[in-house]
């Protein structure tokens, strides 16, 4: 398998950026921005703030190139020619939308209308952003004094210098704000935000180096952002000169219009090209003929109103008609339908998907298992998600488990129980650490037969082996004995207890003697208590 530098080196290079809990500037900026929210609902305020952050980003990128073109005027460069910018994949920003102009007017009562005009101007001159940017800053309910303060605050985000751009400061701020809004909004917000550590685990396990990458419910595009970060981190030595963008094609679909806009902005901030469609994936599949090499997804859990009764005869239901009251196995089969002949998929589902027998779900799961599509199952720890306390798991599917990129894995499934992993980052949220992610992904890669897994990531191992309480490679026969239930805890067994060196017979003799001594002591105490009660007149 062609590979650049070892994973460990890449992880070290991006460790700070990858750890969602290690934030400083982002957290401080959030606190200040949140203080300006006042009584505004988080769902509404989200678009106010993220729209301005996006505007600041493209304006700064524009100004940087504008200065460069200005310096090259003598050589014929024209800093006011939009084509000069488009040729370098930089958004053209018309004069009325430039940040310096807006900042100068930040304290004026007309600032809301000026921002709306700026957004409209950018959309007019950049067709890729048409219909994407928020344009409701002039509404009377939006406090213009606070809006002006927010502009002053965002003006302090430094992204122009080389160091800040290398660290993707604005990208990190944008992602951090998305996560904080998800937390503030609860379930409603969490529908579009998948915790960074979960996305990173999916990406590290699937390794989407090149080909078509698809997310049928892409939310704010976190899967794509993380996939591109993974590729860029591994680009050195891959023979592509670091040109990661040319190696994958991105396809996504999102049904919620405002979330779709966030997805488009999130990718634009990173300079990532992708086909992100708006529409209901089940009823208006915008990529009906797509066969993807990699599919990553976090579908909404247990959706009951997905309109399944209108899709009873759909060609995607090859393994059984999913119940109208739960979309989980509709998502699974939609994903299978869109997998290329050697494609792999990783996605999040509620734990019930691993064991449910309601409404024919058990039969669908059985058919998928018997088709030998399930490659790996991972049980996740609780409290990872902002949106729900429902326990979740990861499914990994492989359309063809023969020896293509990896060893022949036909007839076997890897089970990993990661429920005890992770650390609490606050009172209500847990996060998988980089070491946790490296161990889970590393064991999967060893099991697949990959040769370059850093031994330190998997407790010194250089080849796969079952670890009681953590991982187990099970045959289809074993899975049949468990009624096609895919819960890892059924297979991995109990964690091995540390051997203290004491022979079993001696240990049992010592423990039995200890028990008898404790029982005799308890009898003495009972007698003493009874005697005392009798003296006090309470005894018989």
Q: What is the CATH number of the domain that holds 214?
A: 3.40.50.150
- pLDDT tens figures, 460-480: 999 999 999 999 999 999 999
Pair (317, 344) in one structural domain: yes
Q: Is-contact 331 353, C-beta < 8 A? A: no
User: Which of 297-306, 407-416, 427-436: highest mean pLDDT?
Assistant: 407-416
Cβ atoms of 296 and 223 closer than 8 Å: yes
Q: In 3D, which of 440, 500, 456, 384 has the Cα closest to residue 201?
A: 440
Q: Are residues 11 and 105 in the same domain?
A: yes
98 vs 169, more confident = 98
Q: How many domains does the chain have?
A: 3
Buried b (16+ CB within 10 A) or exposed e, 381-418: bebbbbbbeebbbbbbbbbbbeeeebeebeebbbbbbb
Structure tokens at 444: 């999967």
Domain boundary among 183, 206, 233: 183
Tokens of 49: 């703030």
- Residue-wise pLDDT for 254-280, tens only, equals 998 888 988 898 888 777 889 999 999
Secondary structure (3-state) at 346: strand
**Count of beta carbons in the 10 Å neighbourhood of residue 424:** 11
Whether 518 and 451 map to the same domain: the answer is no
Q: Any residues with CB less than 8 A from the CB of 352 and at least 6 apart, and which?
A: 302, 328
Which domain covers residue 323, as residue numbers? 189-492
Token pair for residue 117? 């005009």
Does 276 share its domain with 164?
Answer: no
Check residue 235 and give its pLDDT.
61
Tokens of 305: 């109103």
Q: Give the number of other Cβ atoms within 10 Å of residue 538's Cβ.
A: 9
Instruction: Quote the CA–CA distance of 179 and 192 in Å, as a whole number.
Output: 10
Contacts of 465 (CB under 8 A, 6+ apart): none
Q: Are residues 486 and 521 in the same domain?
A: no
> Do 432 and 309 reside in the same domain of the chain?
yes
Residue 531 and residue 350: Cα distance in Å, rounded?
58
Q: Give the separation between CA 517 and CA 505, rounded to whole angstroms.
A: 18
d(CA 304, CA 383) in angstroms, rounded, equals: 23
Q: Are residues 352 and 459 in the same domain?
A: yes
Is 497 within a domain?
Answer: no
Q: Looking at the structure, tell me whether residues 142 and 204 fall in a common domain.
A: no
Output the pLDDT for position 164. 60
Domain boundary among 160, 183, 206: 183
Pairwise CA distance, residues 229 & 175, whole Å: 13
pLDDT on residue 42:
81
Answer yes or no: do 294 and 173 share one domain.
Answer: no
2 within some domain:
no
Instruction: Name the pLDDT band for 161 (thresholds 50, 70, 90).
Output: low
**How would you classify the pairing of strands 211-215 and 292-297?**
parallel
**What token pair was written down for 254?**
């999102």
Question: Within this chain, do residues 347 and 414 fall inside the same structural domain, yes or no?
Answer: yes
* 424 located within any domain: yes
- Burial category of 88 from C-beta neighbours within 10 Å (exposed 0-12, middle 13-18, buried 19 and up): exposed
* Closest residue by Cα to residue 200 from 169, 232, 216, 222: 222
**178 lies in the same domain as 217:** no
Within the chain, what is the greatest distance between any pair of CA atoms?
Answer: 112
Lowest pLDDT segment from 28-37, 350-359, 378-387: 28-37
Q: Determine contact, residues 183/386, Cβ cutoff 8 Å.
A: yes
Bridge partners for 278 per DSSP? 254
Query: pLDDT tens-digit profile of 13-57?
Result: 333 333 333 346 677 778 888 888 887 888 788 888 888 988 988
Top-confidence residue, 245 or 174: 174
Are 155 and 65 members of one domain?
A: yes
For residue 498, being part of any structural domain is answered with no
Question: Could you give the CA distance from residue 226 to residue 267 in angstroms, rounded to a whole number?
Answer: 11
* Non-local CB neighbours of 74 within 8 Å, separated by 6+ positions: none
Q: Are 132 and 264 in contact (CB under 8 A)?
A: yes
In which order are the strands placed within the sheet that holds 248-254? 275-278, 248-254, 211-215, 292-297, 339-350, 392-398, 374-379, 412-417, 471-475
Q: With a cut of 50, say whether residue 409 has pLDDT above it.
A: yes
Query: Rounded mean pLDDT of 222-249?
Result: 66
**Please, where are the H alpha helices in 449-503?**
476-481, 489-492
Q: Which of 11, 2, 1, 16 is nearest to 437 (CA)?
A: 11
Give the residue from 144, 161, 183 where a domain finishes: 183
When the pLDDT of each residue in the chain is averaged and rounded to a whole number, the result is 86
Here the tokens at position 448 are: 């697949």
- Taking 80 as the threshold, does the pLDDT of residue 86 lie above it? yes
Compare 276 and 497 and report the one with higher pLDDT: 276
Rounded CA-CA distance 274/213 in Å is 10
Is residue 1 assigned to a domain?
A: no
Contact between residue 338 and residue 281 where contact means Cβ atoms under 8 Å apart: no
Q: Residue 245 — pLDDT band, cuts 50, 70, 90?
A: very low
pLDDT band at 188 (very low <50, low <70, confident <90, very high): low
Q: Answer with the residue of higher pLDDT: 460 or 535.
A: 460
Q: Which two tokens stand for residue 138?
A: 């002039």
Which residues are paired to 471 by β-bridges?
416, 467
Cα–Cα distances (Å) from 369 to 106, 314, 466, 480, in that order, read: 60, 21, 21, 9
pLDDT of residue 209: 85
């Amino acid at each position: 398998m062609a590979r650049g530098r070892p994973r460990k080196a890449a992880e070290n290079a991006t460790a700070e950026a990858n750890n969602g809990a290690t934030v400083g500037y982002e957290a401080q900026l959030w606190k200040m921005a949140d203080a300006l929210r006042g009584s505004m609902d988080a769902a509404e305020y989200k678009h106010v703030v993220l729209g301005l952050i996006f505007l600041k980003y493209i304006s700064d990128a524009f100004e940087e190139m504008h200065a460069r073109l200005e310096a090259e005027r003598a050589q014929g460069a024209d800093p006011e020619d939009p084509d000069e910018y488009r040729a370098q994949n930089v958004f053209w920003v018309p004069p009325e939308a430039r940040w310096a102009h807006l900042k100068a007017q930040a304290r004026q009562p007309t600032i809301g209308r000026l921002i709306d005009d700026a957004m409209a101007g950018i959309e007019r001159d950049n067709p890729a952003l048409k219909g994407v940017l928020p344009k409701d800053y002039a509404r009377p309910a939006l406090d213009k004094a606070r809006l002006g303060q927010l502009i002053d605050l965002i003006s302090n985000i430094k992204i122009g210098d080389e160091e800040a751009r290398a660290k993707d400061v604005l990208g990190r701020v944008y992602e951090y704000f998305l996560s904080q809004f998800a937390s503030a909004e609860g379930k409603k917000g969490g529908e579009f935000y998948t915790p960074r550590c979960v996305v990173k685990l999916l990406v590290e396990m699937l390794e989407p180096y090149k080909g078509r990458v698809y997310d049928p419910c892409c939310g704010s595009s976190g899967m794509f952002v993380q996939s591109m970060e993974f590729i860029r981190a591994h680009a050195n030595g891959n023979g592509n000169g670091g040109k990661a963008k040319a190696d994958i094609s991105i396809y996504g679909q999102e049904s919620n219009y405002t979330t779709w806009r966030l997805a488009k902005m999130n990718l634009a901030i990173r300079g990532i090209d992708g086909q992100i469609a708006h529409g209901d994936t089940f009823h208006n599949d915008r990529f009906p003929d797509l066969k993807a090499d990699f599919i990553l997804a976090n579908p909404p859990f247990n959706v009951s109103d997905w309109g399944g009764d209108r899709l009873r005869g759909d060609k995607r239901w090859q393994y059984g008609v999913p119940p109208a009251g739960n979309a989980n196995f509709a998502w699974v089969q939609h994903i299978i339908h869109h997998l290329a002949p050697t494609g792999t998929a990783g996605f999040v589902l509620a734990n019930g998907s691993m064991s449910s027998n309601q409404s024919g779900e058990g039969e669908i799961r059985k058919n998928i298992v018997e088709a030998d599509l399930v490659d790996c199952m991972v049980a996740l720890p609780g409290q990872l998600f902002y949106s729900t306390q429902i326990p979740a798991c990861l499914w990994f599917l492989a359309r063809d488990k023969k020896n293509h990129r990896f060893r022949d894995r036909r007839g076997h499934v890897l089970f990993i129980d990661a429920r005890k992993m992770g650390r609490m980052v606050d009172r209500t949220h847990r996060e998988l650490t980089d070491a946790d992610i490296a161990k889970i992904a590393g064991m999967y890669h060893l099991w697949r037969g990959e040769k370059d897994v850093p031994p330190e990531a998997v407790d010194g191992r250089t080849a796969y082996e079952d670890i009681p309480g953590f991982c187990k490679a099970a045959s289809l026969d074993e899975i049949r004995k468990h009624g096609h239930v895919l819960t890892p805890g059924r297979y991995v067994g109990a964690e091995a207890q540390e051997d203290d060196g004491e022979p079993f017979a001696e240990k049992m003799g010592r423990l039995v003697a200890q028990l008898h001594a404790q029982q005799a002591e308890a009898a003495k105490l009972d007698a003493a208590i009874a005697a005392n009660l009798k003296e006090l007149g309470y005894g018989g």
